[in-house]
Each structure stands twice: as C-alpha cells, then as structure tokens.
A and B are shown apart, each in its own frame.
Chain A
Amino acid sequence: EAGVAQSPRYKIIEKRQSVAFWCNPISGHATLYWYQQILGQGPKLLIQFQNNGVVDDSQLPKDRFSAERLKGVDSTLKIQPAKLEDSAVYLCASSFGTHQVDGEQYFGPGTRLTVT
C-alpha cells in the first residue's frame, strides 16, 4: 500500500512570495489533515477535510493560507503572501474513517519551507 505522498520536499522562497504544497493521501482515506510543524515544536493542525468538505480550519491563518481538496482525493495548501514565521515543515496526513476518535493518522514525509 502506497503511503501519503507530498511534494515538493523542500522549498525556499522570499517573503511576500506565494507557494503551494501538494498532498496525495492513501487511497480510500476519507479524512485529510494539514499540519504545520515549527522547529522544536509538535505538529499543529491547520485544516482537516472529510472527503472534500472542511470540518476544522480554526487554526488556519485565513488571511494568507488557503487549502482545497478537489474530488475528495488530492489536496493543495497555499500560502500567499509568505512571512518569515511561516518557515516550518508542512505535514499532510490521512485517516480512513470519519468522526473517529481513534483514527490512526498516516503521515507523509512533509515539505520543509524556508522563507528568507
């Protein structure tokens, strides 16, 4: 079974530029998550999708971040314009079910973003 795929793995941009990340979850997984992991911290949930609907985006900085999940499969996360404090690893994860308290999440390798 293929795991969660993410691209690119690394990205360096200047502040005020825009950037987009792509995620392909495990086939059949209904729930998809985007996390931000700042160096030295644990992952923080940015947005959660169930199929192609958003169920939680309470911690997404909506003035600059946007995300979509077309057709309930792949997802993209965009930052426009980027700030220095956006430098982090962006992790995508997926899980099989919906409304699962015990839903094991499978994580991708992440995209390391550096904003200069």
Chain B
Amino acid sequence: AQKVTQAQTEISVVEKEDVTLDCVYETRDTTYYLFWYKQPPSGELVFLIRRNSFDEQNEISGRYSWNFQKSTSSFNFTITASQVVDSAVYFCALSELTTSGTYKYIFGTGTRLKVLA
C-alpha cells in the first residue's frame, strides 16, 4: 500500500544551523508525484515543492533544497541557515492513483521543526 513515513516527530535547532527533514515513501505506481507542505501555527498548509517520479534532479530554492532518490524511495528536505520563521510542521505527501482514476494525496505524519533564537 502507498505510504509516507516521516520518522522525525520533532526537531529543534538553533538559528543559522542547517537541518534536514526526512521523507520515505512506498508506492506501486510508476508515475507519481511527491510534495512538501509547510504548516505554520496559523494552520494553513503552504505548498513548497512538487517533484515527479521521472525527475531525480535535486532542486534548490533560496535556503531550501530537496534531494530525491528513487533508489532509496526518499525525498528529503534541507533548510540551510535556519531562521525562527521556519518554525512549523512540515509534511511530505505522495500522490496516489485511486480506483476512480483520480489522484489524491497521502500525507506523512509531519515533522515539527523548532528553530530557537
């Protein structure tokens, strides 16, 4: 069955440290997408990145970078020089093909990141 595992429940770092959030997934699909979302205390999930299963190129966006490795079924997220504003819960998600031919997300349980000043 499709599954997303975020083994790190909570991580605390001091401001300016680098931090990596792990995501491991399981899927039977050959075509799929992986996502990262940020959920700040306000509660609204904010889209960060989408990666398709055929594109293993790593991506960097400012202080954020993502490492996608199909061989290990992992899609890890690194924040460089963390800031207090990065404090939030981060969710990894996998798109799953349903029996009705549509796609839906399977979310991990999230990693709570606390960045201390």
Residues of A within 8 A of B (CB): 3, 33, 40-45, 48, 50, 55-56, 58, 89, 91, 93, 98-110, 112
A99 touches B50 (CB 8 A): no
Q: Which partner residue on chain A sits nearest B91 by CB separation?
A: A42
Q: Which partner residue on chain B sits nearest A111 by CB separation?
A: B43
Interface residues of B in 82-117 (CB under 8 A from A): 91, 93, 95, 97-98, 100-105, 107-110
B97 touches A101 (CB 8 A): yes
Residues of chain B contacted by A50 (CB below 8 angstroms)? 102
- A93-B45, A100-B103, A102-B33 are known; give 6 further A-B pairs, CB within 8 A: A40-B110, A42-B108, A89-B43, A101-B32, A105-B105, A109-B44
Q: Does B42 belong to the interface (CB within 8 Å)?
A: yes
Q: Which partner residue on chain A sits nearest B103 by CB separation?
A: A101
Chain B interface category by residue count = 20 to 34
Contact of A40 among B4, B42, B46, B109 (CB under 8 A): B109
Q: Which partner residue on chain B sits nearest A33 by CB separation?
A: B104
B110 touches A42 (CB 8 A): yes
Give Cα A91 to B89, complex, Å.
15
Residues of chain A contacted by B32 (CB below 8 angstroms)? 101
B107 touches A56 (CB 8 A): no
Question: Contacts A42-B91, A42-B110 hold; do A103 and B103 have CB atoms under 8 A apart?
Answer: yes
B45 touches A56 (CB 8 A): no
